[in-house]
Each structure stands twice: as C-alpha cells, then as structure tokens.
Amino acid sequence: MALALGIVGLMNVQYVLHEEKIYVLEVNPRASRTVPFLSKVTGVPLVKLATEAMLGRSLTSQGYTRRLLAPPPYTAVKAPVFSFEKLGRVDVFLGPEMKSTGEVLGLDADRDAAIYKAIVAAGGSVPEKGTILATLADKDKEEGIRLLRSFAELGYRVLATAGTAEALKRAGIAAERVFKLGEGHPDVLDVIKDGKVDLVLNTPTRGKIPERNGFQMRRAAVEFGVPCLTSLDTAAALIRVMRAHRRGGKTEVASLQDYLKCLHGTPPPQR
C-alpha cells in the first residue's frame, strides 16, 4: 500500500477483520498513537527514522535493514484508560468512536503477567473470587457460556438474567436468576447498588438507548466501581490472568531499561 500510494515515512492503517476477511477502512500518511508505544518497547526511534527517510536517507544508511525486528523475549501490552465515572450518560460499550482518555503499558516476560500489569496500571482490578453478574446477547451465548463455566470453576458465584440463566442451566452451570428492569426485584441495578456483585459481564445487543436494561446496568457498574466487561475476548484474557495467579505466579517489577537489555542478549527479568 505504501508503494502504491507513494508514501515515505510513517503510515497508519485501520483494518477490520470480519468473517475471516480483512477490510481496510482507511490509510493515513501519518503516525498513530501506537508509534511511541512501539518505540518505547523496542528501543527503535521510529519517528527519527521516518523523518530521515522523508528527507532522503535510506534505512541502511541509518544502521537498520528492511527486515522485521526479531520478536523480543517479553510481552508488551497497551491498555486504554477511561474516565467513564466522570462522564455521565456515556455508554462504556466501545465502538469506532474514541472514548479512552489515556493509555498505559504493561511489560513482562510472561504474557498473562503483562496483561495483569496493564489492567492494574489502567486503574482496574482483577477480582479473583466473588460474584459475577452476566447477561449475554444471543449471538454471544455459546462462547459466553464457556467463559462463565470457567468463572464458576474459579469459584465465582454466577448471577444472570432470564435468557442467560436458562442457557447456563442447560449447560449444567449453577446460576441464580436476577430480574431485568421492570420484571421485579431484586433486579440488575439492585444487586449492583447493594454491593452484591464484584464483576459484570454484559455483551450488548444493537443500539445504545439510555432506557435499555443493558445500558443502565453498565452505567450502574461504572458509578458503583464494579468492573464491567463488554468483550468476550477481554473476559477470556481476565480468566487466563486469574488462573496464572492461582498457580502461584508472582508479579515482578523491572525498569523499561532492563527489558530493553534483553534485545542485546541479557536474559529478561525473571518472575
């Protein structure tokens, strides 16, 4: 694409993967917020290299080749920071529009430990036990039920609205039914406001109407400080982190410079 468009320097591409097919949404001849992240975790001054390239200098003359960098012996995780608690009536469900107000970095030789560090750095928490409130869109029930089974195996008590509770029952997973708004009490807002929930898993249906059950539940989770997951991928990552902690994994802290030394043959900081 860069050659076809005649771009020299940095290029930002927005991709979408849908049903095993890749779509390009847009291509911009500029840097993105990922560039400083990549420079920081690789030690490669990407902006400087790109600027010199735009001025006519080749990568070879700058001491680099056209080959990809070798994978480092550590994982770097970039996580968004949100300020939903300060933004009333804003849905926590993410889409194409920008909602994050910052970003953090998690580094570790172990992938799950790096994810854990990123979650904590972003102001989140990893509740290793407690109660999860779940309500899944029909399209997410098959995968979501598998994840809820994992939460139950980790010792979580599962609360669910009618459709999700019925799906859990058919799968042989114990769950207590909680009413949706307008069905009776205690409803989803009651259990959140009363401090009976430690984690919310809600995959929304289409639309973000403020009066909808899911919207109000997600907002209540934010306002009462309960972690709220709207992505099954994030839930799966959280389960991996919990399991790693259960196995006795320790989280060690090392400087960025210590990790960068690994690129020159020094062993990575040990956990």
Query: Which residues, at least 6 apart from 7, have a Cβ–Cβ distance to it below 8 Å?
Result: 1, 27, 29
Closest CA to 130 of 112, 154, 150: 154
Q: Which two tokens stand for residue 183?
A: 């069905």
φ and ψ of 10, to 5 deg: -85, 150
Q: Domains along the chain? A: 2-62 (no CATH), 75-246 (3.40.50.1380)
Instruction: State how far the alpha carbon of 92 is from the alpha carbons of 4, 82, 98, 196, 243, in Å.
Output: 39, 9, 11, 21, 26
Closest CA to 192 of 216, 162, 157: 216
Q: Which two tokens stand for residue 215?
A: 């919207």
Q: Which two tokens stand for residue 180?
A: 């949706």
Q: Residue 192: pLDDT band by 50, 70, 90 thresholds?
A: very high
How far apart (Å, rounded) are the C-alpha atoms in residues 9 and 35?
12
204 pLDDT higher than 80: yes
How far apart (Å, rounded) are the C-alpha atoms in residues 147 and 30?
39
Question: pLDDT tens for residues 157-170?
Answer: 999 999 999 999 99
Q: Residue 213: pLDDT band by 50, 70, 90 thresholds?
A: confident
Q: Residue 209: pLDDT band by 50, 70, 90 thresholds?
A: low
Average pLDDT, the chain: 90
Contact between 82 and 92 under an 8 Å Cβ cutoff? The reply is yes
| Reported pTM | 0.83
Q: Residue 271: pLDDT band by 50, 70, 90 thresholds?
A: low
The reported pLDDT for the residue numbered 85 is: 82
Lowest mean pLDDT among 4-18, 218-232, 252-266: 252-266
